[in-house]
Amino acid sequence: MEIYYTIYQTEKHDYLFMPFNYASKHGLDLLDYEQVANSVIEMTPEKGEALTTSIDEILDSLFRTYNLHVPKWYKGRLLSMSDVVVLTVKAGDVCLELGKYYCDTIGWKKF
């Protein structure tokens, strides 16, 4: 199983670096964002074990990666409040969007 992630960032001052509640009241729209990263996370459980990684763990791992261990190819700013991550899972020929997640003051908000 693979989980694809896409990171979006905005320069729209109406909600740039603002908490989710504020942004959602001021016209939060993914069309105001630009894609700055798109990659895959290999999700391979050990033999005989179940895959137990949660969406929160994946998002937190991405937050750490794009703040502490930034890939050399990445051209966006450090992942921060008001950025959006879209997660999609692919298993075989099936793709399913897991959700759009807004980086909030603490944690993530699905929208």
Q: Which residue has the tokens 């699905």?
A: 110
Number of domains the chain is built from? 1
Question: Residue ranges of the alpha helices (H) in the chain?
Answer: 20-25, 55-68
Q: What residues make up the domain containing 24?
A: 12-100
In 1-111, the DSSP E strands lie at 2-10, 33-42, 84-91, 94-103, 108-110
Tell whether 6 is covered by a domain: no
Query: Which residues, at least 6 apart from 73, have a Cβ–Cβ distance to it below 8 Å?
Result: none
User: What mean pLDDT comes out for the span 18-25?
Assistant: 96
For residue 94, being part of any structural domain is answered with yes
Q: What is the pLDDT of residue 49?
A: 59
Average pLDDT, the chain: 91
Please indicate, yes or no, if residue 109 is contained in any of the structural domains.
Answer: no
Q: What is the pTM of this model?
A: 0.90
- Encode pLDDT of 73-107 as tens digits: 999 999 999 999 999 998 888 999 999 999 999 99
In a domain, 108, yes or no: no
46 has pLDDT over 70: no
54 compared with 91, residue with greater pLDDT: 54
The terminus-to-terminus CA distance of the chain in angstroms comes to 24
Per-residue model confidence (pLDDT) at position 50: 53
Length of the chain: 111
